[in-house]
């Protein structure tokens, strides 16, 4: 037991777990990080990062037999030959779909922080006040002012590129200089601001080092090279990941212990002390069980797996899952609605094109139901916007004639496009549970997911299509096409809820410090803790919540309260 005892145990090494590890080790606490997947070291374990296209056997495409064997994961935009090794394969980690749900996972050091899309927006006061104002879910126990200094804390360390836009719906942060939007993106931005009150098209804030500061160089990171090969793992550390940033920083303190291949079975509850005493772990390869102990436990296994671990952590005191006095564990699960898209063409700026690569695009913050309820659906949506010059090649002829045609590229009109990022409403009917009969390879219950869209989501898709079609038409775009993919929930990869924060222990799992109401030394700071979803990409908020909760836990430890 002495060799297995630490000050803190962090379950999961992804975006939020990495932050917890950094904060604790910096303050001198001996910290154990448990990662269920294999070890991936920055620089050493990015096998494809510098490969040229012709060095891939299938030119970076996924063979059909692999797609057929992985119908879920192959839907993900980043699941290609250069990054497929970072994704969970369908048959290796099954789950039960009571309703279709595409669960996209990456089990390794750093989790999905290696492959994420790197968009980073703060939540606003409108987002934290949303449930109380609109009457859905439960009231958040915090407001923007509680998280604002922690947003600043993580932004400075991670490195976020952006503009000071002065928008109440999307607060400004601690930004590195932005890249430029292209001429059509700037045109649409100017057009929208001149013709619509309360609507803005801005530079998409992102976790890339455009101009590294000393804190980033001290991490061993360098300027983003705009290669757009991020999902391979970046040898420059140009974008933020646990692997290039928080975990190496924690390791340098000498206070970090990392164990890979550690499948967390459950959190151990001590009935006599009325607190958690440790974590039960199954070795991913040998299936041997081991127990580790600590005064504080941070659960950051990513939203769905954190629900699974708590549901599987049963005892006489908590027969329905650790901390589940309220009975809401696994319920009110939510996600982002990414079903809707729109595209078009534009004949302006035909004397210009783009050169090189950009790692972001333009962004349209939420503009529906912000100050007041104005539609027949609750909440709203944000949207991406991008423009690129179309090209065409003459494919006539054979042999040398065809080669000479293909070598000549003709520029066509600009292609413009947008996708919706809609807020979904947490509902009791959207929930996660454990299968009572089926087990996984580690003798743990399979997870059952019952999550679906509702009428509010359909109305939001319709409104997005109408509003964006109007804006595109007025801006002079043509050949406008709208689509609804009707994709299953999950492909947005923004799972949230099930272990939600709240003011009342009767209707929530966590208090304002992300601390279990009923088990004070267990904290949950990943997506499962979210009370509602807003429209913004959520990763920056997970980071801020993790750093804030770690700071509080350390203060409580010093006081002897934990």
The single residue listed with the structure tokens 């990943």 is 526
Strand pairing category for 31-34 and 256-259: parallel
* Reported confidence tier of residue 51, pLDDT bands at 50, 70, 90: very high
SS3 label, residue 407: coil
Q: How far apart are CA 330 and CA 131, in angstroms?
A: 19
Note whether residue 146 is domain-resident. Answer: no
**pLDDT value, residue 392:** 87
Q: What is the mean pLDDT of the chain?
A: 97
**Span 546-561, average pLDDT:** 97
Residues in a beta bridge with 294: 6
In sequence order, the 6+-apart residues with CB closer than 8 A to the CB of 197 are none
User: Which CATH number do you get for residue 440?
Assistant: 3.50.50.60
Half-sphere exposure of 414 (CA within 13 A, CB side): 24
Q: How far apart are CA 322 and CA 311, in angstroms?
A: 7
Q: How far apart are CA 469 and CA 451, in angstroms?
A: 29
**pLDDT value, residue 1:** 63
Note whether residue 362 is domain-resident. Answer: no
Q: What is the DSSP string of 361-400?
A: -EEE---SSSSS--SSSSS-EEEEEEEEEEEE----SSHH
Q: How far apart are CA 262 and CA 278, in angstroms?
A: 14
Note whether residue 104 is domain-resident. Answer: yes
Q: What is the DSSP string of 248-310?
A: HHHHHTT-EEEE-SEEEEEEEEETTTTEEEEEEEEETTT--EEEEEEEEEEE-S-HHHHHHHH
**Span 290-295, average pLDDT:** 98
Note whether residue 15 is domain-resident. Answer: yes
List, for residues 392-403, the tens digit of each pLDDT value. Answer: 888 888 999 888
**Residues 82/51, Cβ–Cβ less than 8 Å:** yes
Q: How far is CA 479 from CA 10, 179, 403, 482, in A?
A: 51, 29, 31, 10
Six token digits for residue 386: 């991008």
List, for residues 504-533, the tens digit of each pLDDT value. Answer: 999 999 999 999 999 999 999 999 999 999
Measured in degrees and rounded to the nearest 5, phi and psi for residue 206 equal -150, 155
Identify which has the larger pLDDT, 342 or 404: 342
Q: How far is CA 441 from CA 13, 111, 263, 288, 438, in A?
A: 22, 20, 11, 12, 10
**pLDDT value, residue 356:** 86
Note whether residue 341 is domain-resident. Answer: no
Six token digits for residue 433: 């549970």
The single residue listed with the structure tokens 């459950």 is 266
Q: How far is CA 76 from CA 214, 228, 443, in A?
A: 35, 16, 28
Q: How far apart are CA 534 and CA 550, in angstroms?
A: 24
- Nearest CA to 242 among 345, 143, 113? 113
**Span 395-422, average pLDDT:** 91
**pLDDT value, residue 408:** 83
List, for residues 170-225, the tens digit of each pLDDT value. Answer: 999 999 999 999 999 999 999 999 999 999 999 999 999 999 999 999 999 999 99
Q: How far apart are CA 416 and CA 477, in angstroms?
A: 8
**pLDDT value, residue 516:** 98
Beta strands in 44-111 (DSSP E): 96-97
**pLDDT value, residue 406:** 84
List, for residues 64-89, the tens digit of each pLDDT value. Answer: 999 999 999 999 999 999 999 999 99
List, for residues 121-131, the tens digit of each pLDDT value. Answer: 999 999 999 99
Note whether residue 156 is domain-resident. Answer: no
Q: How far apart are CA 403 and CA 406, in angstroms?
A: 5
**pLDDT value, residue 401:** 87
**Residues 322/519, Cβ–Cβ less than 8 Å:** yes
SS3 label, residue 474: helix
Query: Of how many residues is the chain composed?
Result: 562
Note whether residue 161 is domain-resident. Answer: no
Beta strands in 130-248 (DSSP E): 160-161, 175-176, 202-203
Q: At what angle do helices 539-558 and 144-158 cross, to 10 degrees?
A: 100
- Nearest CA to 130 among 376, 425, 384? 425
List, for residues 238-256, the tens digit of each pLDDT value. Answer: 999 999 999 999 999 999 9
- Least trusted range by pLDDT, from 244-258, 405-419, 445-459: 405-419
Total domains present in the chain: 1
Runs of H (alpha helix) within 135-199:
144-158, 183-195
Note whether residue 9 is domain-resident. Answer: yes
Q: How far apart are CA 429 and CA 99, in angstroms?
A: 11
List, for residues 457-470, the tens digit of each pLDDT value. Answer: 999 999 999 999 99
In sequence order, the 6+-apart residues with CB closer than 8 A to the CB of 146 are 512, 548
* pLDDT at 2 > cutoff 80: no
Sign of the alpha-carbon dihedral angle for 136, 140, 141, 145: negative
Beta strands in 393-532 (DSSP E): 410-423, 431-439, 445-450, 478-484, 522-524
Six token digits for residue 125: 């006061």
**Residues 347/443, Cβ–Cβ less than 8 Å:** no
Measured in degrees and rounded to the nearest 5, phi and psi for residue 550 equal -65, -40
DSSP 53: G
**pLDDT value, residue 357:** 86
Domain of residue 290 covers 2-119+229-335+429-451+492-558
- What percent of the chain lies above the pLDDT cut of 70? 100
């Amino acid at each position: 037991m002495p060799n297995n005892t630490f000050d803190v145990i962090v379950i999961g090494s992804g975006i939020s777990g990495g932050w917890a590890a950094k904060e604790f080790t910096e303050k001198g606490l001996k910290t154990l990080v448990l990662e269920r997947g294999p070890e991936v070291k920055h620089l050493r374990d990015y096998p494809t990062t510098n490969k040229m296209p012709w060095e891939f056997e299938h030119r970076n495409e996924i063979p059909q037999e692999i797609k057929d064997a992985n119908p879920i994961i192959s839907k993900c935009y980043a699941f290609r030959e250069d990054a497929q090794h970072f994704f969970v394969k369908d048959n290796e980690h099954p789950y039960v779909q009571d309703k279709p749900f595409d669960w996209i996972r990456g089990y390794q050091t750093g989790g999905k922080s290696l492959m994420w899309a790197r968009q980073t927006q703060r939540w606003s006061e409108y987002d934290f006040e949303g449930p109380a104002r609109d009457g859905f879910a439960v009231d958040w126990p915090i407001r923007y002012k509680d998280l604002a200094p922690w947003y600043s804390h993580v932004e400075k360390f991670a490195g976020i590129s952006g503009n000071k836009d002065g928008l109440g719906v999307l607060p400004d942060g601690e930004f590195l200089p932005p890249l430029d939007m292209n001429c059509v993106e700037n045109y649409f931005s100017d057009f929208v601001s001149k013709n619509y009150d309360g609507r803005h098209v801005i530079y998409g804030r992102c976790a890339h080092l455009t101009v590294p500061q000393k804190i980033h160089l001290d991490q061993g990171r360098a300027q983003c090279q705009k290669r757009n090969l991020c999902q391979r793992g970046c040898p420059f550390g140009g974008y933020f990941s646990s692997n290039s940033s928080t975990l190496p920083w924690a390791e340098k303190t000498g206070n970090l212990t990392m164990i890979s291949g550690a499948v967390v079975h459950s959190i151990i509850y001590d009935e006599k002390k009325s607190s958690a005493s440790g974590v039960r772990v199954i070795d991913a390869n040998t299936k041997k069980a081991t127990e580790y102990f600590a005064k504080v436990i941070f659960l950051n296994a990513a939203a769905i797996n954190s629900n699974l671990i708590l549901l599987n952590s049963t005892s006489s005191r908590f027969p329905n899952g650790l901390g589940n006095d309220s009975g809401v564990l696994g319920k009110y699960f939510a996600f982002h609605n990414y079903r809707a898209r729109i595209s078009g063409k534009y004949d302006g700026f035909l004397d210009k094109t783009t050169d090189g690569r950009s790692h972001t695009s333009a962004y349209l913050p939420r503009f529906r139901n912000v100050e007041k309820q104005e539609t027949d659906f609750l909440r709203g949506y944000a949207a991406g916007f991008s423009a690129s010059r179309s090209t065409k090649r003459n494919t006539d002829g054979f042999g040398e004639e065809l080669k000479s045609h293909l070598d000549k590229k003709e520029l066509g009109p600009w292609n413009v496009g947008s996708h919706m990022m809609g807020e979904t409403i947490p509902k009791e009917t959207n929930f996660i549970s454990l299968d009572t009969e089926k087990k996984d390879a580690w003798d743990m219950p399979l997870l059952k997911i019952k999550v679906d869209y509702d009428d509010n989501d359909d109305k939001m898709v319709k409104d997005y299509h109408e509003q964006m079609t109007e804006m595109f038409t007025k801006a002079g775009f043509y050949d406008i096409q709208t689509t609804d993919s009707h994709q299953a929930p999950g492909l947005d990869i923004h799972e949230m809820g099930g272990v939600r924060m709240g003011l009342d222990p009767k209707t929530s799992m966590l208090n304002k410090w992300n601390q279990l109401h009923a088990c004070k030394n267990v904290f949950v700071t990943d997506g499962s803790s979210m009370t509602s979803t807003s429209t913004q990409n959520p990763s920056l908020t997970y980071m801020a919540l993790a750093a804030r909760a770690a700071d509080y836990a350390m203060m409580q430890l010093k006081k002897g309260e934990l």
